[in-house]
Amino acid sequence: MSEASPLGETQWLDIMAWHRDMAGLLARLEGDDFWLAMSRLLARHVAFNTWVVLIFHHDQPPTILAESDEDDGADESLFQDYQQGLYLLDPFYVAARDKAYTGLVTLDDVAPQCFTQTEYYQRYFKRNIVADEVQLNQPLDGQRTLCLSLGAVTSFDQTALGVLQLIQPWICELLRVRMHFEQPEAAPGAHPWHPRSGEVQDTASQFGLTDREREVSQLMLGGSSTKEIARRLDISVETVRAHKKHLYAKLSINSQAELFARFWQDRV
Protein backbone atom coordinates (compact mmCIF):
# COMPACT_ATOMS: atom_id res chain seq x y z
CA MET A 1 0.00 0.00 0.00
CA SER A 2 1.39 3.39 -0.97
CA GLU A 3 1.77 6.02 1.72
CA ALA A 4 -0.15 9.28 1.53
CA SER A 5 1.91 12.23 0.37
CA PRO A 6 2.81 14.60 3.21
CA LEU A 7 1.16 17.99 3.17
CA GLY A 8 3.29 20.83 1.92
CA GLU A 9 4.00 23.96 3.95
CA THR A 10 1.44 26.01 2.01
CA GLN A 11 -1.29 23.44 2.61
CA TRP A 12 -0.52 23.34 6.33
CA LEU A 13 -0.68 27.12 6.47
CA ASP A 14 -4.04 27.08 4.67
CA ILE A 15 -5.44 24.52 7.12
CA MET A 16 -4.17 26.50 10.10
CA ALA A 17 -5.64 29.72 8.70
CA TRP A 18 -9.02 28.05 8.17
CA HIS A 19 -9.18 26.70 11.72
CA ARG A 20 -8.09 30.06 13.11
CA ASP A 21 -10.81 31.80 11.08
CA MET A 22 -13.42 29.29 12.20
CA ALA A 23 -12.52 29.82 15.85
CA GLY A 24 -13.00 33.56 15.39
CA LEU A 25 -16.35 33.03 13.67
CA LEU A 26 -17.62 30.72 16.41
CA ALA A 27 -16.89 33.47 18.92
CA ARG A 28 -19.34 35.69 16.99
CA LEU A 29 -22.08 33.07 16.61
CA GLU A 30 -24.54 34.96 18.83
CA GLY A 31 -23.53 38.43 17.68
CA ASP A 32 -25.21 40.92 15.36
CA ASP A 33 -22.13 40.89 13.12
CA PHE A 34 -22.12 37.12 12.57
CA TRP A 35 -23.17 37.19 8.91
CA LEU A 36 -20.70 39.92 8.04
CA ALA A 37 -17.98 37.97 9.83
CA MET A 38 -18.89 34.82 7.90
CA SER A 39 -18.80 36.67 4.57
CA ARG A 40 -15.35 38.04 5.39
CA LEU A 41 -14.11 34.61 6.41
CA LEU A 42 -15.30 33.10 3.14
CA ALA A 43 -13.80 35.98 1.15
CA ARG A 44 -10.37 35.04 2.50
CA HIS A 45 -10.69 31.61 0.90
CA VAL A 46 -13.00 32.09 -2.13
CA ALA A 47 -13.37 35.11 -4.42
CA PHE A 48 -16.91 36.55 -4.74
CA ASN A 49 -18.50 39.99 -5.03
CA THR A 50 -21.89 39.96 -3.31
CA TRP A 51 -23.62 37.85 -0.69
CA VAL A 52 -27.06 37.47 0.82
CA VAL A 53 -28.50 35.23 3.54
CA LEU A 54 -32.14 34.29 3.13
CA ILE A 55 -34.75 31.76 4.09
CA PHE A 56 -36.66 30.03 1.30
CA HIS A 57 -40.24 29.31 2.40
CA HIS A 58 -42.74 26.97 0.80
CA ASP A 59 -45.75 29.23 1.30
CA GLN A 60 -44.39 32.78 1.28
CA PRO A 61 -41.63 34.90 -0.28
CA PRO A 62 -38.05 34.48 0.92
CA THR A 63 -37.02 36.29 4.09
CA ILE A 64 -33.75 38.21 3.77
CA LEU A 65 -31.69 38.02 6.97
CA ALA A 66 -28.54 39.86 5.86
CA GLU A 67 -26.93 41.13 2.68
CA SER A 68 -23.86 42.83 1.31
CA ASP A 69 -24.15 46.61 1.32
CA GLU A 70 -23.92 49.10 -1.54
CA ASP A 71 -20.14 49.29 -1.15
CA ASP A 72 -20.10 45.63 -2.19
CA GLY A 73 -22.21 46.34 -5.28
CA ALA A 74 -25.61 45.36 -3.89
CA ASP A 75 -28.78 47.22 -4.88
CA GLU A 76 -31.51 47.41 -2.23
CA SER A 77 -34.25 48.08 -4.79
CA LEU A 78 -33.39 44.85 -6.59
CA PHE A 79 -33.89 42.87 -3.40
CA GLN A 80 -37.33 44.49 -3.08
CA ASP A 81 -38.21 43.42 -6.62
CA TYR A 82 -36.97 39.94 -5.76
CA GLN A 83 -39.26 39.63 -2.74
CA GLN A 84 -42.24 41.06 -4.62
CA GLY A 85 -42.27 38.29 -7.19
CA LEU A 86 -38.98 37.64 -8.98
CA TYR A 87 -38.21 34.94 -6.40
CA LEU A 88 -40.75 32.71 -8.17
CA LEU A 89 -38.44 32.73 -11.21
CA ASP A 90 -35.22 32.14 -9.25
CA PRO A 91 -33.91 28.67 -10.22
CA PHE A 92 -32.40 28.24 -6.74
CA TYR A 93 -35.76 28.94 -5.11
CA VAL A 94 -37.61 26.66 -7.52
CA ALA A 95 -35.12 23.84 -6.88
CA ALA A 96 -35.23 24.25 -3.09
CA ARG A 97 -39.02 24.29 -3.10
CA ASP A 98 -39.12 21.11 -5.18
CA LYS A 99 -36.61 19.26 -3.01
CA ALA A 100 -34.67 20.41 0.05
CA TYR A 101 -30.93 19.85 -0.24
CA THR A 102 -28.08 20.26 2.24
CA GLY A 103 -24.78 21.60 0.96
CA LEU A 104 -23.37 23.34 -2.09
CA VAL A 105 -25.70 24.13 -5.00
CA THR A 106 -24.32 25.71 -8.18
CA LEU A 107 -26.06 27.64 -10.93
CA ASP A 108 -25.29 24.81 -13.35
CA ASP A 109 -27.15 22.45 -11.01
CA VAL A 110 -30.42 24.39 -11.21
CA ALA A 111 -30.49 26.79 -14.19
CA PRO A 112 -32.90 25.78 -16.98
CA GLN A 113 -31.97 25.72 -20.64
CA CYS A 114 -33.02 29.28 -21.52
CA PHE A 115 -32.12 30.96 -18.21
CA THR A 116 -30.04 33.78 -19.71
CA GLN A 117 -32.95 34.77 -21.96
CA THR A 118 -35.37 35.37 -19.09
CA GLU A 119 -36.61 38.63 -17.60
CA TYR A 120 -35.38 37.38 -14.21
CA TYR A 121 -31.86 37.13 -15.60
CA GLN A 122 -32.01 40.58 -17.23
CA ARG A 123 -33.81 42.42 -14.41
CA TYR A 124 -32.20 40.85 -11.35
CA PHE A 125 -29.46 38.29 -11.86
CA LYS A 126 -27.41 40.20 -14.43
CA ARG A 127 -27.62 43.44 -12.43
CA ASN A 128 -27.23 42.13 -8.88
CA ILE A 129 -25.23 38.91 -9.22
CA VAL A 130 -23.70 39.57 -12.65
CA ALA A 131 -22.19 36.27 -13.85
CA ASP A 132 -22.39 33.33 -11.46
CA GLU A 133 -24.00 32.25 -8.20
CA VAL A 134 -23.57 29.43 -5.73
CA GLN A 135 -25.50 28.68 -2.56
CA LEU A 136 -24.77 26.80 0.63
CA ASN A 137 -28.12 25.46 1.81
CA GLN A 138 -29.32 24.08 5.12
CA PRO A 139 -32.93 22.78 5.36
CA LEU A 140 -34.53 23.88 8.64
CA ASP A 141 -37.71 21.83 8.44
CA GLY A 142 -40.11 20.58 5.78
CA GLN A 143 -41.09 24.13 4.82
CA ARG A 144 -37.92 26.22 5.07
CA THR A 145 -34.33 26.23 3.80
CA LEU A 146 -31.67 28.64 5.03
CA CYS A 147 -29.40 29.77 2.19
CA LEU A 148 -26.10 31.61 1.97
CA SER A 149 -25.82 32.92 -1.59
CA LEU A 150 -22.54 34.11 -3.11
CA GLY A 151 -22.54 36.10 -6.35
CA ALA A 152 -19.56 36.78 -8.61
CA VAL A 153 -18.72 38.86 -11.67
CA THR A 154 -16.84 35.87 -13.11
CA SER A 155 -17.62 32.16 -13.02
CA PHE A 156 -16.54 30.20 -9.96
CA ASP A 157 -13.67 28.00 -11.12
CA GLN A 158 -13.01 24.42 -10.09
CA THR A 159 -10.60 25.49 -7.37
CA ALA A 160 -13.22 27.73 -5.75
CA LEU A 161 -15.90 25.05 -6.05
CA GLY A 162 -13.49 22.53 -4.54
CA VAL A 163 -12.90 24.79 -1.55
CA LEU A 164 -16.65 25.28 -1.08
CA GLN A 165 -17.22 21.53 -1.29
CA LEU A 166 -14.54 21.00 1.34
CA ILE A 167 -15.86 23.57 3.83
CA GLN A 168 -19.60 23.03 3.32
CA PRO A 169 -20.05 20.75 6.37
CA TRP A 170 -18.75 23.49 8.68
CA ILE A 171 -20.74 26.27 7.03
CA CYS A 172 -24.02 24.34 6.84
CA GLU A 173 -23.79 23.35 10.50
CA LEU A 174 -23.13 26.97 11.44
CA LEU A 175 -26.17 28.02 9.41
CA ARG A 176 -28.31 25.55 11.34
CA VAL A 177 -27.05 26.63 14.76
CA ARG A 178 -27.19 30.34 13.95
CA MET A 179 -30.97 30.12 13.45
CA HIS A 180 -31.35 29.76 17.23
CA PHE A 181 -30.24 33.39 17.50
CA GLU A 182 -32.21 34.82 14.58
CA GLN A 183 -35.53 36.64 14.81
CA PRO A 184 -36.56 36.97 11.15
CA GLU A 185 -38.84 39.81 10.18
CA ALA A 186 -42.18 38.89 8.67
CA ALA A 187 -41.93 38.19 4.95
CA PRO A 188 -43.95 40.39 2.57
CA GLY A 189 -47.17 39.04 1.14
CA ALA A 190 -46.85 36.28 -1.42
CA HIS A 191 -47.19 37.03 -5.11
CA PRO A 192 -50.69 36.08 -6.34
CA TRP A 193 -49.12 33.43 -8.57
CA HIS A 194 -47.32 31.78 -5.64
CA PRO A 195 -48.04 28.01 -5.56
CA ARG A 196 -50.75 27.19 -3.05
CA SER A 197 -49.87 24.23 -0.86
CA GLY A 198 -52.57 21.77 0.06
CA GLU A 199 -55.00 22.82 -2.65
CA VAL A 200 -56.20 20.63 -5.48
CA GLN A 201 -54.43 21.31 -8.75
CA ASP A 202 -56.30 22.63 -11.76
CA THR A 203 -58.94 24.58 -9.84
CA ALA A 204 -59.93 27.97 -11.21
CA SER A 205 -58.16 30.96 -9.64
CA GLN A 206 -59.22 34.57 -9.38
CA PHE A 207 -56.83 35.35 -12.23
CA GLY A 208 -58.47 32.88 -14.58
CA LEU A 209 -55.54 30.46 -14.56
CA THR A 210 -55.58 27.00 -13.07
CA ASP A 211 -52.82 26.05 -10.65
CA ARG A 212 -51.24 23.90 -13.35
CA GLU A 213 -51.32 26.78 -15.82
CA ARG A 214 -49.62 29.01 -13.25
CA GLU A 215 -46.94 26.34 -12.78
CA VAL A 216 -46.36 26.19 -16.52
CA SER A 217 -46.26 29.99 -16.80
CA GLN A 218 -43.69 30.33 -14.01
CA LEU A 219 -41.47 27.63 -15.47
CA MET A 220 -41.70 29.34 -18.86
CA LEU A 221 -40.74 32.69 -17.33
CA GLY A 222 -37.92 30.98 -15.43
CA GLY A 223 -36.36 29.77 -18.70
CA SER A 224 -37.52 26.16 -18.93
CA SER A 225 -38.08 24.75 -22.40
CA THR A 226 -41.26 22.86 -23.26
CA LYS A 227 -39.44 19.54 -22.80
CA GLU A 228 -38.02 20.65 -19.43
CA ILE A 229 -41.49 21.68 -18.23
CA ALA A 230 -42.93 18.34 -19.32
CA ARG A 231 -40.18 16.45 -17.49
CA ARG A 232 -40.46 18.53 -14.30
CA LEU A 233 -44.26 18.26 -14.12
CA ASP A 234 -44.33 14.66 -15.37
CA ILE A 235 -46.73 15.47 -18.20
CA SER A 236 -46.46 15.15 -21.96
CA VAL A 237 -45.03 17.81 -24.26
CA GLU A 238 -48.45 18.03 -25.93
CA THR A 239 -50.09 18.74 -22.57
CA VAL A 240 -47.58 21.53 -21.88
CA ARG A 241 -48.37 23.08 -25.25
CA ALA A 242 -52.08 22.87 -24.49
CA HIS A 243 -51.57 24.63 -21.16
CA LYS A 244 -49.56 27.36 -22.90
CA LYS A 245 -52.30 27.87 -25.46
CA HIS A 246 -55.00 28.08 -22.79
CA LEU A 247 -53.16 30.49 -20.51
CA TYR A 248 -52.28 32.80 -23.42
CA ALA A 249 -55.94 32.84 -24.43
CA LYS A 250 -57.17 33.51 -20.88
CA LEU A 251 -54.74 36.39 -20.42
CA SER A 252 -55.30 37.74 -23.95
CA ILE A 253 -51.58 37.74 -24.70
CA ASN A 254 -49.44 36.51 -27.57
CA SER A 255 -45.87 36.40 -26.27
CA GLN A 256 -43.72 35.52 -23.29
CA ALA A 257 -42.85 39.21 -22.88
CA GLU A 258 -46.55 39.95 -22.41
CA LEU A 259 -46.79 37.04 -19.97
CA PHE A 260 -44.03 38.55 -17.85
CA ALA A 261 -45.74 41.95 -17.98
CA ARG A 262 -48.92 40.38 -16.62
CA PHE A 263 -46.97 38.47 -13.96
CA TRP A 264 -45.24 41.68 -12.84
CA GLN A 265 -48.47 43.67 -12.94
CA ASP A 266 -50.06 41.22 -10.48
CA ARG A 267 -47.27 41.49 -7.89
CA VAL A 268 -48.05 42.66 -4.35
On the CB side of 102, how many CA atoms lie within 13 Å of its CA? Answer: 14
pTM, whole model, 2 decimals?
0.86
Could you read off the pLDDT of 210-258 as tens digits, one per residue? 889 989 999 999 999 999 999 999 999 999 999 999 999 999 999 989 9
**Average pLDDT, rounded, for the chain:** 86
Q: What's the average model confidence in pLDDT over 16-45?
A: 90
**CA-based nearest residue to 65, from 256, 73, 89, 57:** 57
The answer to whether residues 188 and 79 touch, using CB atoms and an 8 Å cutoff, is no
With bands split at pLDDT 50, 70 and 90, how would you rate the model's confidence at 22?
confident
Contacts of residue 206, defined as CB under 8 A and 6 or more positions apart, other chains included, come to: 192
| Single-letter amino acid, residue 115 | F
Q: Kindly list the structural domains of the chain, giving each domain's residue range(s) and its CATH number in brackets, ordered by start.
A: 12-181 (3.30.450.80), 211-265 (1.10.10.10)
Show the CA angle centred on residue 143, arms to residues 168 and 201, nearest 5°. Answer: 130
